[in-house]
A and B are shown apart, each in its own frame.
Chain A
Amino acid sequence: MHRITRKSAAVLLSVVLAMALASAGGCKPTAAPSTGSTTPTEKAAKGGILSFYVGEPAYIDPYNTQESEGTQVEAALFDSLTDVDPLEPTKILPAAAETWTVNADATVWTFKLNPADKFHDGTPVTASDFLYAFNRIADPKTINTATSKADPSIISYHLAVIKGFDEVQAGTVPAMSGMKAIDDTTLEITLSKPFSDFDYVVAHPSLAPVQKKYVEGGVDYQGKKIPFGEMPIGNGPFKMSEPWVHNQAINVVRNDDYYGKKAFLDGVAFKIFKDPETAYTEFEAGNLDFTQIATGKIKADVAKYGESPNGYTVNPGKQVLLGAENSTYYLILNTKAKYIDNPNVRKAISLAVNRQAICDTIFQGTRIPADNIVPPGIAGYTKGAWADAKYDVEGAKAALAAAGYPAGKGLPTLTLSLNTDGGHEKIMQLIQADLKVIGINTTFASADFPTYLKQLDAGKFQIARLGWVADYPIMDNFLYPLFDSKSADNKSYYVNPAVDAGISDARALTDPSARIAKYESVNQIVQAANPVAPIMFYRHNHVGSDRVNELTYSAQGIADFTSAWLTKGGAK
């Protein structure tokens, strides 16, 4: 026994010594990032790996990338048919499709694919790859080959306008009748109803081409078969260099055979962190090139790192991004709930909220008070379009009196529903104080997120909160989901045939300015009824390191890595 103890102590000691030695060797810092001015001509020294913060994605296989984490990675690996200009959301660019045409009533879309577009394995991208990819998203019985179980896409709604979608969802047919591969490079998509903004829909990163043989057979890596979802083979500017290292990193390298503009960077290391706080600590330690700014540190960071003039592009000394995002934070006013069904009560609530105070106090001015449900980055945004989305205590009191509840008399205590996570409590506390001023007493009904979602789905609330993040930067993506009576995202349960008809009409207009004018007329009908109270528009709160140049992080929250480069070719 005695001997054994000694021996094991010796083993332990040697392990510790080895550890100490290894760590001493490992503690050599990476070469110090250089500062100093660099002009674009020094791009000769291109290369380097840019490290970029993401949370652990749920999926990086495009068919099921819903959350921003997965979309971020997947957008670097794949190209969809079209692309939205990262700096001008109103401009739509060719991507996998070189050109496209639409018929007069916006129901038949024909995309000509770029013949140079190849997957990372060298196979040319064909129309049938898009066919396969789109049907895979639409089919609720889609099999996940890693588990051999059905794992349907939760983002099939992107394709709901395509002819035959409903039949595929119902399980009666396996493929959408509206999807046709005319030849290898011609894809024809027929819609069940006109939709003039469909070229924005197909720009969504998740609607990317995939190859059936890899999806179903797996991907070869070092003699092993890896599930497609662990190491997707795409057609984008970057490709996977190794399978996804869960909870740690997703490493991608430049695709040198890319048909479009090749990237300067050697690669991107998507570093996975559990929360933005840890990521920010790593950023402060100099180990991360792009991250979200820790809550409330935005002003200090602007002073320290400089603000990007356009709000979206990182350059040395102009590293903090504060550009507007295509998303709106709003109160849902349940038009089917007692008391809230009174339009004047809704108007009073909207007018009572001091939006500027919320933005200043809680977000230090890094959010913008909302004066419209459509945010400023979207074509057709009109300043002050929602007349009641402003702070007007007297107007609020008058509206409450007009509703039959002067100074709140006769109105019982109303309920403000919110989810406990995500810091919404502070916002709701201020709204509660504002409502009290005009005589509306409120109490909180808070729930964890899963329960909260169920309450919203069941319509069991009076006043609640949500944030709407646009899938595509178009007015339709706010007006249809939030206010069309057929939409499941219409949590106000607002029904107005004129709005439904107006959206349908607008979708059929192929002339962009006429279309926007029509959407704005719908927007005006909606705002008069106040089914929601827009509170604020989101803005970026991101920062890049001082070696990052020309990294654009779009209003949609998608990074464009193809223009970015690192000073002195990166640190390594």
Chain B
Amino acid sequence: MTDEDTQALLAEKTVQLPPTHIPGDESGRSRTLWGDAWYRLRRDKLALGSLTWLLIVIVMAVTADLWVPQLYGPPNLINTQTAAAERLKPPSVQHPMGTDDLGRDVFSRVVYGARVSLTVGVAAVLVSVLIGLLLGALSGYYGGLTDGFIMRIADVFLSFPYILFAILLLSVVPASQRRGLFPVIVTIGVLGWPSIARVFRSSILSVKEADYVDAGRAVGASDARLMLRHILPNAVAPIIVFATMSVGGAILTEAALSFLGLGIQPDPVSAPNAVSWGHMISDGQGYLLSNPGLIVWPGLAIVSTVLAFTLLGDGVRDALDVKMKD
């Protein structure tokens, strides 16, 4: 399998812990919670290191257009005049990670790959969170038939082998529209909702019967108001932890899809600079003996980014969740 399955599964398992604070005076107690959490997070060296690394990667990816093509060359464009002479160069000042088989700068490709990976990772998780929150809320709050129906759909999604489902969903998109990041984001996002929905549903179940919710209901607060004002704030911590951890999984899924030839593709018009780390690895497979950099660099990029998200997720979980600390 499918480390993605495992990841979702595990994150779900470790996160299903009820929120531990009962806000009477919401604003005051909440600030204390977030303040405490931030204080604890700052003392967690691993989480802090991860955050720093992610910030560096984000800054590099965001500002790439300003310096990378100028210093190292464009990530995708093949220069037909120089390609034959420039191909497979070892690392140098001009090319810190060498060049690939078509004479393109590997560093430039790795940096632009970060842009794709981060965008896909974060955006896909946002899609999952949106769908998951909505369906999880319906399921947890109303229970009964609604709950049964939604949870059965979630079962359908979770029963399907993850990568296969992604392959199928992507093949539904006409290939002419399969360029750019959008289809991959939606596919990974759609596949991720059941886990979020389950986490949110169990959070709701655990606070639904709390006194303050009953009280709200007694004074005639509407369902939507109860949900927004009382239940959501209490379920937010597990969702944040779960989402942070899921970003790493989404990045791995994108890389796997690209490795299988279904992921991000550059398009001369809409996405001329789109590079996928997974695609770089599959392209570099034939060169591991002669030019290991072609496959090691994008591999390290994936590992370091995903690792940072996982460790940050661990840190956030520990910081937000009293039960997991000692």
Chain A residues with CB under 8 Å of chain B are 277, 280-281, 284, 294-297, 300, 354, 357, 360-362, 364, 420-421, 425-426, 429-430, 432-433, 443-448, 451-452
The reply to whether the CB of B27 lies closer than 8 angstroms to some CB of chain A is: no
Cα(A444)–Cα(B271), bound, Å: 13
Residues of A within 8 A of B282 (CB): 277
- Say whether B84 contacts A361, CB under 8 Å: yes
15 intermolecular pairs with C-beta atoms under 8 Å apart: A294-B285, A294-B286, A295-B286, A361-B78, A420-B178, A425-B265, A429-B78, A429-B268, A443-B268, A444-B267, A445-B176, A446-B175, A446-B178, A448-B171, A448-B175
Closest chain A residue to B286 by CB distance?
A: A294
Cα(A451)–Cα(B265), bound, Å: 18
Residues of A within 8 A of B103 (CB): 361
* Residue with the greatest number of chain A CB neighbours at <10 A, chosen from B101, B175, B261, B285: B175
Cα(A260)–Cα(B301), bound, Å: 58
Closest chain B residue to A415 by CB distance?
A: B176
- Say whether A284 contacts B174, CB under 8 Å: no
- Say whether B174 contacts A451, CB under 8 Å: yes
- Say whether B101 contacts A295, CB under 8 Å: yes
Cα(A443)–Cα(B286), bound, Å: 31
B258-298 interface code vs A (CB 8 A; 1 in, 0 out): 00010001011100000000000011011101100000000
The reply to whether the CB of B80 lies closer than 8 angstroms to some CB of chain A is: yes
The reply to whether the CB of B83 lies closer than 8 angstroms to some CB of chain A is: yes
Contacts A295-B286, A362-B102 given; does A447 touch B83 at CB 8 Å: no
The reply to whether the CB of B115 lies closer than 8 angstroms to some CB of chain A is: no
- Say whether B290 contacts A430, CB under 8 Å: no
- Say whether A426 contacts B78, CB under 8 Å: yes
Cα(A451)–Cα(B174), bound, Å: 8
Residues of B within 8 A of A448 (CB): 171, 175
| B interface residues, how many (CB within 8 angstroms) | 26
Residues of B within 8 A of A430 (CB): 78, 80
The reply to whether the CB of B109 lies closer than 8 angstroms to some CB of chain A is: no
Cα(A357)–Cα(B82), bound, Å: 10
Residues of A within 8 A of B78 (CB): 361-362, 426, 429-430
Cα(A426)–Cα(B100), bound, Å: 14
Cα(A287)–Cα(B179), bound, Å: 39
Cα(A421)–Cα(B84), bound, Å: 23
Contacts A296-B101, A429-B268, A432-B268 given; does A357 touch B174 at CB 8 Å: no
Give chain A's interface secondary structure class: helix
- Say whether A420 contacts B175, CB under 8 Å: yes
Other than A294-B285, A444-B267, A452-B175, give 7 A-B pairs with Cβ distance below 8 A. Answer: A296-B286, A360-B80, A361-B78, A420-B178, A429-B268, A446-B175, A447-B174
- Say whether A446 contacts B176, CB under 8 Å: yes
Chain B residues with CB under 8 Å of chain A are 78, 80, 83-84, 87, 101-103, 171, 174-176, 178-179, 261, 265, 267-269, 282-283, 285-287, 289-290
* A-B CB contacts (within 8 Å), total count: 66
Cα(A448)–Cα(B78), bound, Å: 23
Closest chain B residue to A443 by CB distance?
A: B269
- Say whether A420 contacts B265, CB under 8 Å: yes
CB distance from A86 to the nearest CB of B (A): 28
Cα(A471)–Cα(B72), bound, Å: 47
Residues of A within 8 A of B174 (CB): 447, 451
Residues of A within 8 A of B176 (CB): 445-447
Closest chain B residue to A423 by CB distance?
A: B283
- Say whether A277 contacts B80, CB under 8 Å: no
Contacts A295-B286, A296-B286, A425-B265 given; does A361 touch B175 at CB 8 Å: no
Residues of A within 8 A of B102 (CB): 361-362, 426
Closest chain A residue to B283 by CB distance?
A: A295
- Which listed residue (A284, A354, A420) contacts B289, Cβ 8 A? A284
- Which listed residue (A300, A445, A446, A451) contacts B290, Cβ 8 A? A300
CB distance from B257 to the nearest CB of A (A): 13
Closest chain A residue to B288 by CB distance?
A: A281
Contacts A420-B265, A425-B265, A451-B175 given; does A297 touch B287 at CB 8 Å: yes
CB distance from A528 to the nearest CB of B (A): 29
* Residue with the greatest number of chain A CB neighbours at <10 A, chosen from B78, B87, B289: B78
Closest chain A residue to B79 by CB distance?
A: A361
- Say whether A447 contacts B175, CB under 8 Å: yes
- Say whether B261 contacts A354, CB under 8 Å: no
Cα(A430)–Cα(B84), bound, Å: 14
CB distance from A355 to the nearest CB of B (A): 12
